[in-house]
Every structure is written in structure tokens, then in C-alpha cells.
Amino acid sequence: MKSSEASILVVDDEREITELITLYLEREGYSVHTTDEGTEALRMAESLVPDLIVLDVQLGQMDGIEVCRSLRQGNCADVPILFLSCRSEDQDIIRGLSEGGDDYITKPFSPSQLVARVQAHIRRRRTRERINEEQPFTLAFPGLEIDFRSLEVRLEGELVGLSAKEFELLCVLARQPNRVFPLEELYRLVWQTDSMGDTRTLMVHVSNLRKKMEIDPARPRWIHTVRGFGYRFSPTNGGDDPSSNPN
């Protein structure tokens, strides 16, 4: 997909930030639309259905978390959302990603880093669509079914409501059962860019995925942590091995 074919919605109430992001994204050929207000962002997103949304957490009357929550209920349910925030505390990151965000960049940030993240998310979305078309319709394990066409996951026949990024993460793990993925490799496979040493986004998504899929997230059946290394997907109903823990 050429950059010129992709549209980006930038939502930030700091004019200097908006102008800087617009400058760098337009240099790459993206069509950039901007607003500094949450309700206007919802209207524009509904009309444009952009390929990606850059969303500041701290807006005016309607903050970015509320905007994200509303976007996920409309026709932008699977559009990548990249949060911007001056807050770097883990709880803020967890909140943003738990409400449907795909990625998180703290201010001040490198414009080239933001462009790289945007490119990676758009590339990953197109790659996911192509791979899902080429793969078998479903992956099936005892008690679990992953449908690549409908983007649905069912546990014991019950539909599990996953975000687009949670679905991608599960697919990467489940396509190679019992393989242990190092954190950096798993981050690159799902986000299509380097973590630059910060894998908290990945760990939050794994935690959210466990909360939705596991009866007891503290004793996971499906997604296991291999201490000091990474994560693996286990299709069997065995317990954690001694080298694993759920964190």
C-alpha cells in the first residue's frame, strides 16, 4: 500500500504538535486530517474511516480515552489507534491500551519514531488482511477456534470480544503452538517495528488477552510466560512448566 493511499486522523489540542506531526506525515505521502476536539474527532472518524488515528490522551471536554472507547463501538472498530500522552506511568499506559488503543508514545517524542510507528501499523494491517486471506479459514484447538475471515475467537463455543491488536497477537502465537517467542521478536511481528527497549505495550496486551481468555489469568491455560525470555501459546490443557509464570 502506498503512503499516498492512506489517510491519518490526528487529534491533539496542541497546535505545535499537530503541525509537526502533519508536516512529517505529509512528507511521507499520507493524507492528514486534524482536529483538536474529541466530539469532532468522532464525527470525522465516522465520515473518513481513516487508516490510522493518532490520538492525544489529554483533550478538552472529551478526553482521548473516551474518544477511543466510542470509536471502538462504531465503524472504526479495527482502525489502529496510536495514543500520545505526556504521562509515562504504567497505569496510564494500561488504561489507554485496555480501552482499545494499539500503541502508546509519550511526549516529548521523536517525529521520525512516530512516523515509523504509523508506517508499521498500516503495513501490519495490510499484511494481516493478506495473510488471513491466504491462511485456512480457521485454527481449531480443543475448546478454542480462531476464525481469520470473521476475525472472531470462540472459547468453548462462546464468542470472545478481542480488539484488533489482541486478535493479531493471539494469531501470531497460535500459528506456532508451543514455540517460545522472545519479547522483542514478538513485538516486531505484531507491531512491525522495534520496541526501542520498551515492551510494556506488548505486556499490557498479553495481560488483557489473558483476562478475556483465561478462567484464572494467574494460572493461564493458553498463553504462558517463559521467565526471562518471552511468551508461548499452549493448545494443551497442562499447567505451566517450572520455567514459566503468568506475568
pLDDT of residue 2: 47
10, amino acid identity: V
Kindly state the helix (H) or strand (E) to which residue 183 belongs, with its residue range.
helix 183-191
**Residue 169 belongs to a domain:** yes
What span, in angstroms and rounded, lies between the C-alpha atoms of 124 and 162? 17
Q: Which domain holds residue 116?
A: 3-124
- Whether residue 89 sits in one domain with residue 19: yes
Number of structural domains in the chain: 2
The CATH number linked to 84 is 3.40.50.2300
pLDDT of residue 245: 43
Sign of CA dihedral 194, 199, 200, 206: positive
Query: Of 63, 90, 124, which residue constitutes the final position of a domain?
Result: 124
User: Average pLDDT in the 172-193 region?
Assistant: 91
Q: pLDDT for 69-121, tens place per residue?
A: 999 888 888 899 999 988 767 777 788 888 889 998 988 889 998 999 999 88
What span, in angstroms and rounded, lies between the C-alpha atoms of 162 and 20? 33
Sign of CA dihedral 114, 117, 119, 122: negative
- Whether residue 152 sits in one domain with residue 101: no
- Whether residue 140 sits in one domain with residue 105: no
- Whether residue 163 sits in one domain with residue 65: no
Average pLDDT, the chain: 85
**Residue 130 belongs to a domain:** no
Asked whether 32 and 8 are in contact (CB, 8 A), the reply is yes
**Residue 129 belongs to a domain:** no
Query: Of 124, 153, 181, which residue constitutes the final position of a domain?
Result: 124
- Whether residue 148 sits in one domain with residue 46: no
**Residue 77 belongs to a domain:** yes
- Whether residue 68 sits in one domain with residue 177: no
- Whether residue 187 sits in one domain with residue 160: yes
The CATH number linked to 227 is 1.10.10.10
Q: Cα 53–55–61 angle (5° rounding)?
A: 130
Query: Of 105, 124, 143, which residue constitutes the final position of a domain?
Result: 124
- Name residue, grid cell 493511499: 5
User: Average pLDDT in the 232-244 region?
Assistant: 60
- Whether residue 160 sits in one domain with residue 117: no
- Whether residue 147 sits in one domain with residue 113: no
- Whether residue 178 sits in one domain with residue 105: no
In sequence order, the 6+-apart residues with CB closer than 8 A to the CB of 94 are 204, 207
- Whether residue 236 sits in one domain with residue 173: yes
- Whether residue 241 sits in one domain with residue 140: yes
Q: pLDDT for 129-153, tens place per residue?
A: 565 555 567 889 999 999 887 888 9
